[in-house]
Amino acid sequence: MSFDVNTLRQDFPILDQQVNGKPLVYLDNAATTQKPRAVIEAVDDYYRRFNSNVHRAAHHLSDIATRTFEDTRAEVAAFINASREEVIWTKGTTEGINLVAQCVGRERLKPGDEVLITTLEHHANIVPWQQACLATGATLKVVPLREDGSVDEDAYYQLLNERTRIVALSHVSNSLGTVNPVAKWVQSAREAGAITLVDGAQAVGHFPVDVARIGCDFYAFSAHKMFGPTGIGALFGRRDLLEAMPPYQTGGEMIEVVTFERTTWNQLPYKFEPGTPNIAGVVGFGAAVRWLNQQDRTALASHEDALIAAATEHARAFKGLKIIGNAATKIGILSFLLDGAHPGDVGMLLDQQGVAVRTGHHCCMPLMDSLGIPGTARASFSIYNTLEEVDGLFRALEKVRTFL
């Protein structure tokens, strides 16, 4: 299967526009990716042709919606090599992590127990565990970083011990692009008797994910990081753990029988899905999975590798620019600082030239504190970006340096 980035870009109508009189160069993909026509049309088709609630009605539209909804669950499960009963619909990665922190963390943790995370984590994989520890008397332990922005693996093994009950790790850092060897760390955590959760938000859109190979107990991710809609995500959970867990929220759909005296829960996966779900989001999620499966993912990964290699080469030659995060294994994220310039000013001046990047702490304030900086400018690349856009970023940065 051949790969041509210019042909691929034709699938993304939003890219064909100008911003401030300049062709749009969209380099904020770690925040959210753009959507191919297949996803946009699938959501539009749902609302135009079979908008209905799922599972409970006996009419034609509901039947189509329900079958599409559950077929998508099976597709998403296959996408990560799980069974459909192990895939819970969520609003996104954040809700998935909160679900586990509430249903596992607060149920199982007690004083003297420890939860182990890394300095790289997004707030969504810090605060839920912090709150679970505060509620139970457990202790949050944090693995430090090496100078290159990778996790200190020796420190990880030193901190992992018989008191560790939960290990929560990012697969890929959203701020530095560091790719963690989660399969190896998960195996060690499970040998220590800990439950493991992987934050996969930044992984699923960049390379294939196999939760069986990783061996984790939970894996959370979002559709909008992998070319799908916002407001929808999935949580993989090991079936035996999901069956033993209490529900996160209660209400319609997640019940089996309700009386005024007692309630029994529905079977998996519905036990964790109260209320009317984001049906349109699920439809779009399925379209994103099918679209990705139609691509040559090896070729896509090679293209992204070429983008970050070119950006890194430019950055190293750029006077006054400091790369933040130089791990040996990383995806297409370039976080950087310009001498004498606030990242916010850099982002504003780039936007005036049509280049969209993100600035700030990227929901990683503890990481930025550990690095002794307030934040960075972050250019994050995806499969539809081009080498010409990488060149354009640095031409724009030359002007930024002149302005500042």
- Structure tokens of 94? 């954040």
Q: How far apart are CA 325 and CA 347, in angstroms?
A: 19
Clarify whether 363 is annotated catalytic: yes
Q: How far apart are CA 382 and CA 390, in angstroms?
A: 11
For 138-155, letters b (16+ CB in 10 Å) and e give: bebbbbebeeebbbbeeb
Compute the 3-state secondary structure of the chain and give helix, strand, coil in percent, each to the nearest 5. 45, 20, 40
Q: How far apart are CA 245 and CA 248, in angstroms?
A: 9
Closest-CA residue to 304 (of 239, 372, 382, 217): 382
Residue 281 dihedral angles phi and psi, to the nearest 5° = -65, -40
DSSP for 256-325, please give it.
EEE-SS-EEEPPTTGGG--SS--HHHHHHHHHHHHHHHTS-HHHHHHHHHHHHHHHHHHHHHSTTEEES-
Q: How many CB atoms lie within 10 A of CB 168?
A: 28
149 Cβ contact list (under 8 Å, min separation 6): 120, 173, 176, 178, 324, 325, 326, 327, 330
Q: How many CB atoms lie within 10 A of CB 328?
A: 9
Q: Is 108 left (phi over 0), alpha (psi -120 to 50) or beta?
A: alpha
Out of 103, 133, 216, 363, which one is annotated catalytic? 363
Contact assessment for residue 11 and residue 343, using Cβ atoms and an 8 Å cutoff: no
Torsion angle, alpha carbons of 9, 13, 14, 15, to 10: 30
Q: How far apart are CA 142 and CA 139, in angstroms?
A: 10
For 13-40, letters b (16+ CB in 10 Å) and e give: eebeeeeeeeebbbbbbbebbbbbebbb
Catalytic residue list? 363
